[in-house]
Amino acid sequence: MTDPHTTKVLVIGYVWPEPRSSAASGHVMQILDVFLQQSWDVTFSSPASFGEQRADLTALGIREVPIELNNSSFDTFISELKPDIVLFDQFMMEEQFGWRVEKHCPDALRVLESCDLQSLRHARHQRLKERLKANDDNNDFHDLFAPALREEFEHMADTDLAKREVASFYRCDLTLLVSEVEIELLVEQFRIPRHLLHWNPLMVDLPDSAPVPFEARANFIHIGNFRHAPNWDAVLWLKTAIWPLIREQLPAAQLHIYGAYTPPKATALHNPAQGFHIMNWAEDALKVMSAARICLAPLRFGAGIKGKIVDAMLTGTPNVTTPVGAEAMHGEEPWPGAVTRTARDFADQAVQLHNDKALWLQAQANAQTLLASRYQQSLHGPALIQRLLDCQRDLASIRRDNFTGSMLRHHHHKSTQYMAQWIEAKNRLN
């Protein structure tokens, strides 16, 4: 029987976690692990169907409870569970279930986990589409990468997605963000109070063994879930612009591209004669990353921080990326590889790292320093727990001072509640 004083946590997931398929799910699993280390009682629920590679949460001692959208059965479930903390995984879950949580468990701390700022990623994607449509030269994006925060805000502010997402941040008692850049954007441009946000990057344990040496490695690697639009765009840029430039200098070079949910349009790019290999899903991403000499992450848009680059650092694999890939990932620390803005520079830097052992070893050393300074679970896990406990203690004052959030909850929850009840009634008739 659960100790009545044990903190109860309900996590409402957009999907069931697949940590071997996406960094977003990996971050959720890291947060769950932090909760379990506190011996908290954790329940995970989601309205999504089970994915191919979902984690076995029950083996970790986490209760799994499927839930339905627009169904009052959730009201009974949460009323009986009586969680102390409810964590919404992505803002859409807060939109759907926030009003039910507030109605039936008003004293529960409501926390939102944002793996990336989706409205920022979407706005950047739209800019890239416009750029590609207007200019056939897709090799030079020098003026597109990482503009000032004010410019990012101007591209986002009028979008429905930004209004929904930022409103959800206000409605919650605390929002977890992986990117310091996104925190600054929200505070400086969207005027969200800083005390409603908490920096919680990817949290890892430092490697306890030496990485695979330079001489034992071969080939280039790219890895990323194909359902994530920035990853698919990166593969296209590799195929059309970057990889041919690398092969000009290294005619025997091989590129292995791994990703979950590989679509036919990706497998159609497989071309061994060009050294371009679509490898599908990697059962062990760290293992295949350890075998590669260079990780390529040519991200032309995106948000958050990049799991593939953290994996590269964990395995001592130098990487080449763009300002989008490196954003919010290294602070004042030197980059463990190279950050580039054009296809030509990207290819040149990749070849140089591939061939120059001294440069490669320096990049590897930079990765170890960076992991220790910014990504240790032993630092960020306790900081997260302390922040949650502080918020629980000060919950009344947090909510009183967040009048904008209270106002948004009042209007949003009423409209969402009536819509959900209408949909549920309509479903009964059908």
pLDDT tens, residue by residue, 282-302: 989 999 999 999 999 999 999
Share of the chain above pLDDT 90, in %: 86
- What mean pLDDT comes out for the span 244-261? 97
CA distance 149 to 159: 16
Q: Is residue 1 domain-resident?
A: no
Q: Tell me if 125 is assigned to some domain.
A: no
Taking residues 397-424, what's their average pLDDT? 80
Considering the domain architecture, whether residues 171 and 25 belong to the same structural domain is answered as yes
The dihedral over CA atoms of 158, 161, 164, 167, expressed in degrees to the nearest 10, equals: -60
Amino acid making up residue 44 = F
Quote the CA–CA distance of 357 and 114 in Å, as a whole number: 38
Is residue 425's pLDDT more than 80?
no
Structure tokens at 164: 């929904």
The whole-number average pLDDT for the span 177-198 is 97
Tell me: pLDDT of 281 over 90.
Answer: no
**Terminal CA-to-CA distance of the chain, rounded, Å?**
41
| pLDDT on residue 1 | 42
Q: In which band, very low, low, confident or very high, does the pLDDT at 418 lie, cut at 50, 70 and 90?
A: low
Q: What is the pLDDT of residue 132?
A: 87
Q: Are residues 171 and 226 in the same domain?
A: no
Nearest alpha-carbon partner for 222 in 289, 283, 314: 289
126 lies in some domain: no
DSSP 189: T
Whole-number pLDDT of residue 414:
64
On whether both 92 and 233 belong to a single domain, the answer is no
Average pLDDT, the chain: 93
Chain segment 43-66, per-residue pLDDT in tens: 999 999 998 789 999 999 999 999
Sign of CA dihedral 211, 212, 214, 220: negative
Two tokens at 244? 């041919």
Range of the domain at 27: 8-120+131-135+144-203+378-429
Same domain, 174 and 193: yes
Average pLDDT score over residue span 258-263:
93
* Residues sharing a CB contact under 8 Å with residue 183, sequence separation 6 or more, in sequence order: 177, 194, 197, 199
Do 197 and 234 fall within a single domain?
Answer: no
Instruction: Specify the pLDDT at position 297.
Output: 98
* Amino acid identity, position 364: Q
Residue 242 resides in a domain: yes
Distance CA 91, CA 118 (A): 9
What pairs with residue 256 in β-bridges?
A: 221, 277
The whole-angstrom separation of Cα 424 and Cα 420 is: 6
Cα 317 from Cα 429, distance rounded (Å): 57
CATH number, residue 67:
3.40.50.2000
**Average pLDDT in the 383-402 region?**
97
266 alpha-carbon distance from chain centroid: 22
Q: What is the pTM of this model?
A: 0.93
Helix (H) or strand (E) holding 119: helix 118-134
Q: Are residues 252 and 326 in the same domain?
A: yes
Which carries the bigger pLDDT value, residue 260 or residue 196?
A: 196
Residue 2 lies in a domain: no
Phi-psi region of 304 (alpha: psi -120 to 50; beta: other; left: phi over 0): left
- Residues 320, 422, single domain; the answer is no
CB-CB contact of 305 with 275 (8 Å): no
**How many of the other CB atoms lie within 10 Å of CB of 37?**
12
- The tally of domains found in the chain comes to 2
Among residues 426, 423, 408, the alpha carbon closest in space to that of 70 is found at: 423
Give the pLDDT score at 3: 59
Whether residues 394 and 253 fall in one domain: no
- Coil/strand/helix, residue 12: strand
SS3 252: coil
Question: Predicted confidence band at 379 (pLDDT cuts at 50, 70, 90)?
Answer: very high
Residues in the chain: 430
Q: Cβ(354)–Cβ(218) under 8 Å?
A: no
Instruction: Compute the distance between CA of residue 116 and CA of residue 175 in angstroms, rounded to an integer.
Output: 11
- The answer to whether residues 192 and 219 belong to one domain is no
Taking the C-alpha atoms of residue 319 and residue 321, their distance in angstroms, rounded to an integer, is 6
Q: Look at residue 347 in the predicted model and tell me its pLDDT.
A: 98
pLDDT tens-digit map of 116-147: 999 999 999 999 998 888 875 556 676 777 67
pLDDT of residue 139: 63
Q: Residue 296's pLDDT is what?
A: 98
15 and 96 share one domain: yes
Q: Tell me how far apart the alpha carbons of residues 277 and 155 are, in angstroms, rounded to a whole number.
A: 36
Q: Which two tokens stand for residue 2?
A: 């659960």
**Is there a single domain that holds both residue 231 and residue 255?**
yes
Q: How far apart are CA 430 and CA 420, in angstroms?
A: 15
H/E stretch holding 46 reads: strand 41-46
Give the pLDDT score at 278. 97
Number of H-type helices and E-type strands within the chain? 18, 13
Which tens digits make up the pLDDT trace of 64-114? 999 999 899 999 999 999 999 999 999 999 999 999 999 999 999 999 999
Find out whether 325 and 306 touch, Cβ atoms under 8 Å.
yes
| 321 shares its domain with 409 | no
Alpha helix (H) residue ranges in 19-90? 23-37, 73-81
Separation CA 351–CA 340 (nearest Å): 13
Give 276-340 as a DSSP string.
Answer: EEEEE--S-HHHHHHH-SEEEE--SS--S--HHHHHHHHTT--EEE-HHHHTTT-TTSPPSEEE-
The Cα–Cα gap between 58 and 42 comes to 10
What percentage of the chain has pLDDT greater than the value 70?
A: 94
